[in-house]
């Protein structure tokens, strides 16, 4: 399987850090950023590369040569004129007869490529995009997926004010089947996100989003450059690879992150508790997964549909995103054990394993996200939250005062 690295980027925004070198050659710890990508791919057994080069591309060619120094094979495609992120692929069809990865040459990442490829194959996808929540969703390209991971739509920037969505952002790492290539025209500037993927979606191709909590960041600005340098040096980039189990902070929703209103069932009524954004940002920065586990009997009681509930959660993620904070996942229990009301949805009036104090949601999350449960923490505002944490076997279960500003941040600072 081949790895295509798009390394033609001019990198104007970062020119204060490094002038006169292509973006992909910007050094981190004395090594070009793209060399980290080569090493990553090699670790997963991929040794055939195509470098798309442009502006100052001879520097890349001089550095890597034919790749033999790294035990890999590299061929180069030099753009005479800038063709966007996708344009050059139209010239490479003869080399791309089976599925291939596409990396952007200025991204710092440590991704379990094998797991992503397995997902792509399992879904029989024509294209798989790595997507994730990030700390600036409002100025990122949002990807809407359904519960199976099928990409429904891309919402590129700019978007209307008041736009509400889940925080799932295109991270710019792709697996493509050769089937997408006819959607790229030769000699015309085009972009993967703006031009190619929307076409594929309109044609009804199988486009999937692979949600990952791993480290992947571009170095678009000097600020981000210094941040990723720190993260490489501290070992954070490598540590967040899927293969390393991670601890999580499990959080109740109502009364802990959003204001407790009895049986909240409309997004208009949802409000963050003061300090909730800062608290979740703190969790994100500490390298813990932020996972919400919430009982939502409003479904069983027929006060709220699944669509409304997912809108409430989209609003929650949007409000947190404005505070530079993100959740990795939201688990909810739609059930309630007491049947016998006329308006209820009988199929959800059952005794289940997910309603807290049962540990079902925490245990499901642990499986889904490779969580180290014995190093994880549960925080809620009720006894059932504490019990759910204990039943799941977390390290600590803590109760905080309901709806109290900064209560979550204060307790987190004593715990992590």
Measured distance CA(241)–CA(213) in Å, rounded? 8
* Conformational region of residue 374, where left means phi above 0, alpha means psi within -120 to 50, and beta covers everything else: alpha
The answer to whether residue 349 forms part of the interface with Zn ion (CB under 5 A) is: no
Q: From the CB of 106, what's the least distance to Zn ion, in Å?
A: 44
Nearer to Zn ion, 246 or 356 (CB): 356
The 10 Å CB-count burial string (b at 16+, else e) for 349-381 is beebebbbbbbbbbbbbbeebbbebeebbbbbb
Q: Which of residues 89-108 bind Zn ion (CB under 5 A)?
A: none
Q: Would you call 254 a catalytic residue per the annotation?
A: yes
Q: Please, where are the H alpha helices in 214-287? A: 222-234, 236-239, 276-285
Measured distance CA(55)–CA(282) in Å, rounded? 39
Q: Regarding beta strands 289-295 and 248-251, do their DSSP bridges make them parallel or antiparallel, or are they unpaired? A: parallel
Measured distance CA(244)–CA(194) in Å, rounded? 34
Nearer to Zn ion, 23 or 356 (CB): 356
Q: From the CB of 310, what's the least distance to Zn ion, in Å?
A: 17
Q: Which stretch binds Zn ion (CB under 5 A): 78-86, 97-105, 311-319, 355-363?
A: 355-363
Q: From the CB of 327, what's the least distance to Zn ion, in Å?
A: 19
Q: From the CB of 334, what's the least distance to Zn ion, in Å?
A: 6
With beta carbons less than 8 A apart as the criterion, state whether 29 and 232 touch. yes
Q: Which of 106, 135, 252, 381 is catalytic?
A: 252
With beta carbons less than 8 A apart as the criterion, state whether 386 and 397 touch. yes
Q: From the CB of 352, what's the least distance to Zn ion, in Å?
A: 3
Nearer to Zn ion, 131 or 354 (CB): 354
Of the candidate residues 132, 355, 356, 382, the single one contacting Zn ion (CB under 5 A): 355
Nearer to Zn ion, 258 or 295 (CB): 295
With beta carbons less than 8 A apart as the criterion, state whether 102 and 111 touch. no
Of the candidate residues 21, 201, 238, 352, the single one contacting Zn ion (CB under 5 A): 352
Nearer to Zn ion, 47 or 310 (CB): 310
Q: From the CB of 357, what's the least distance to Zn ion, in Å?
A: 12
Q: Which stretch binds Zn ion (CB under 5 A): 23-31, 121-129, 354-362, 393-401?
A: 354-362
| 248, HSE (Cβ side, Cα atoms, 13 Å) | 32
Q: Which of 126, 254, 381, 385 is catalytic?
A: 254
Q: Would you call 252 a catalytic residue per the annotation?
A: yes
Q: Which stretch binds Zn ion (CB under 5 A): 4-12, 81-89, 174-182, 349-357?
A: 349-357
Facing residues of 35 across strands? none
Strands (E) in 133-231, as ranges, are 142-145, 151-155, 169-176, 207-211, 215-218
Q: Nearest Cα to 209, choosing from 238, 166, 246?
A: 166
Nearer to Zn ion, 92 or 354 (CB): 354
How many residues bind Zn ion (CB under 5 A)? The answer is 5
Alpha carbon dihedral 390, 391, 392, 393, in 10-degree steps, equals: 50
The answer to whether residue 354 forms part of the interface with Zn ion (CB under 5 A) is: yes
Q: Which of residues 308-347 bind Zn ion (CB under 5 A)?
A: 333, 335
Q: From the CB of 46, what's the least distance to Zn ion, in Å?
A: 42
The answer to whether residue 384 forms part of the interface with Zn ion (CB under 5 A) is: no
Nearer to Zn ion, 352 or 384 (CB): 352
Peptide bond into 305 cis (omega under 30): no
Q: Please, where are the H alpha helices in 235-305? A: 236-239, 276-285
Annotated catalytic sites, by residue? 252, 254
Q: What is the contact surface with Zn ion in residues (CB under 5 A)? A: 333, 335, 352, 354-355
């Amino acid at each position: 399987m081949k790895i295509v690295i798009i390394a033609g980027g001019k990198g104007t925004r970062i020119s204060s850090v490094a002038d006169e070198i292509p973006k992909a050659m910007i050094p981190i710890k004395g090594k070009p950023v793209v060399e980290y990508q080569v090493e990553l791919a090699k670790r997963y057994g991929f040794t055939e590369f195509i470098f798309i080069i442009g502006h100052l591309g001879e520097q890349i060619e001089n550095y890597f040569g034919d790749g033999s120094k790294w035990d890999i094979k590299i061929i180069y495609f030099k753009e005479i004129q800038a063709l966007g992120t996708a344009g050059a692929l139209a010239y490479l069809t003869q080399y791309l007869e089976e599925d291939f990865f596409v990396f952007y040459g200025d991204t710092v990442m440590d991704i379990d490529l094998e797991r992503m490829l397995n997902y792509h194959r399992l879904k029989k996808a024509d294209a798989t995009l790595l997507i994730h929540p990030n700390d600036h969703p409002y100025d990122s390209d949002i990807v809407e997926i359904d519960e199976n991971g099928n990409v429904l739509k891309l919402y590129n920037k700019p978007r209307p004010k008041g736009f509400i969505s889940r925080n799932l952002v295109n991270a710019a790492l792709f697996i493509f089947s050769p089937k997408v290539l006819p959607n790229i025209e030769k000699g015309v500037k085009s972009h993967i996100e703006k031009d190619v993927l929307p076409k594929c979606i309109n044609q009804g191709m199988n486009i999937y989003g692979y949600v990952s909590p791993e480290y992947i960041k571009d170095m678009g600005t000097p600020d981000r450059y210094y941040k990723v340098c720190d993260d490489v040096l501290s070992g954070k980039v490598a540590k967040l690879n899927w293969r390393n189990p991670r601890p999580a902070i499990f959080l109740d929703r109502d009364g802990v992150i959003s204001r407790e209103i009895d049986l909240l069932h409309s997004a208009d009524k949802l409000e963050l508790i003061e300090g909730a954004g800062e608290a979740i940002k703190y969790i994100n920065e500490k390298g813990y997964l932020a996972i919400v586990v919430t009982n939502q009997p409003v479904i069983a009681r027929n006060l709220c549909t699944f669509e409304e509930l997912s809108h409430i959660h989209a609003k929650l993620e949007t409000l947190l995103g404005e505070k530079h904070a993100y959740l990795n996942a939201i688990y909810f229990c739609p059930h309630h054990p007491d049947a016998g009301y006329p308006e209820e949805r009988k199929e959800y009036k059952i005794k289940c394993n997910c309603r807290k104090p049962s540990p079902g949601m925490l245990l499901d999350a642990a499986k889904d996200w490779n969580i180290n449960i014995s190093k994880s923490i549960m925080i809620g505002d009720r006894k059932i939250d504490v019990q759910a944490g204990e039943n799941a076997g977390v390290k600590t279960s803590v109760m905080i005062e309901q709806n109290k500003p900064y209560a979550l941040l204060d307790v987190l600072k004593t715990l992590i």
